[in-house]
Structure 1
Amino acid sequence: MADRRELLELFYNILRRMKKEWNKELQHGINHSQYLILKTLKHSGPQKANELAEAIQMTPGAITGASDKLVSEGYAERKGAMKDRRVVYLEITDQGEHILESMIENQKKATERFFEGLSDEDISHLIRIYHQISNNLDQQAP
């Protein structure tokens, strides 16, 4: 059982440290939630606050607060729906796409540094392990 305890401690420690490194790569005062919003908007197109909240597992109120900052910085804009002006969509701007691409590239470089020094065999083992973890998560999903 001690091995599992050590595994969990290492896992949580690595997750914390990876998140810290990834957060260093965020620019212009954008936090992780705002990054996720921009990423979702880039890949899924304009979204309502409740759609974004569901997609990135935040409350609609938290989405509104995070979105306010993105709008004020020019990284996103709010647009009313053509048929019903009460419905408001958040949309990424060109400036938001530019910042997002820069952050993704920086995070990719940071992630590559995490795996420096690992042999091809170690990488193969990690890939196998990550697939198993992913399968375990898929089986637990509703």
Structure 2
Amino acid sequence: MEEQTIFEIIHSMDKVTNKLIIQWNKLFKEDLGVSHILILGHLKANGKSRSSDIAKAIGLTPPSVTHLSEKLVHKELVTRIIGKSDRRITYLAITDKGDEVLKWANQEGQILRRNLFEKLTEEDRLRLLEIYRKLSDF
């Protein structure tokens, strides 16, 4: 495959991702980014977690998770829990308010994705699914 073609594919993927992020920020009025929602999603799925475990699971650095969690704590979407057996360990846990924000974010995300993929025919969507399945094996 030519280098130019690979560059065009990567550039096009980045453009779509950037447009999705811009649309997300317009649609979701909670002053939270996608990374905040990923943290909430991790906590919902996995229960209380250390920042380092969250970072590893969602592909961020531990300092990034610490920084992002400050806003989540301030907005009362997550709470900090001190470890019982080792008080040096701090866990994050999603609150009921955080759970509600996560549900709303998922609903808005579904609308955004539906609007994006409506532009494709059923055949296009099936081909895209096949391509992403191949790429996920990378």
TM-score in terms of structure 1 length: 0.85
Q: Give the Cα–Cα distance (whole angstroms) in 2 for the partners of residues 59 and 9 of structure 1.
A: 25
2:46 maps to 1:15:
no
Structure 1 unaligned regions, length at least 5: 138-142
Deviations 1:44-69 (A, max 9, x none): 11011111121122222222221111
Choose which of 21, 31, 34 in structure 2 pairs with 1:32. 34
For structure 1, which segment, 120-129 or 40-49, has the greater mean C-alpha deviation from structure 2 after superposition?
A: 120-129
Q: 1:77 to 1:115 in 2, by over 3 A?
A: same
User: What displacement does 1:99 show?
Assistant: 0.4
Q: Structure 2 matches for 1:1-142, cutoff 5 A?
A: 1=2, 2-135=4-137, 137=138
User: What displacement does 1:116 show?
Assistant: 1.1
Deviations 1:57-107 (A, max 9, x none): 222222222111111111000011222222111000000000011001101
Question: What RMSD over aligned residues (CA atoms) do the two structures have, in Å?
Answer: 1.7
Whether contact under 8 Å (1:46, 1:91) holds in the other structure is yes
User: What displacement does 1:32 show?
Assistant: 2.2
Whether contact under 8 Å (1:79, 1:90) holds in the other structure is yes
For structure 1, which segment, 52-61 or 36-45, has the greater mean C-alpha deviation from structure 2 after superposition?
A: 52-61
User: What displacement does 1:110 show?
Assistant: 0.3
Q: Give the Cα–Cα distance (whole angstroms) in 2 for the partners of residues 116 and 76 of structure 1.
A: 35
Identity, % of aligned positions: 30
Q: Give the Cα–Cα distance (whole angstroms) in 2 for the partners of residues 40 and 125 of structure 1.
A: 29
User: What displacement does 1:120 show?
Assistant: 1.8
User: What displacement does 1:5 show?
Assistant: 4.2
User: Amino acid of the residue matched to residue 6 of structure 1?
Assistant: E
Q: Give the Cα–Cα distance (whole angstroms) in 2 for the partners of residues 62 and 131 of structure 1.
A: 29
Q: 1:82 to 1:22 in 2, by over 3 A?
A: same
User: What displacement does 1:27 show?
Assistant: 3.5
User: What displacement does 1:35 show?
Assistant: 1.4
User: Amino acid of the residue matched to residue 31 of structure 2?
Assistant: G
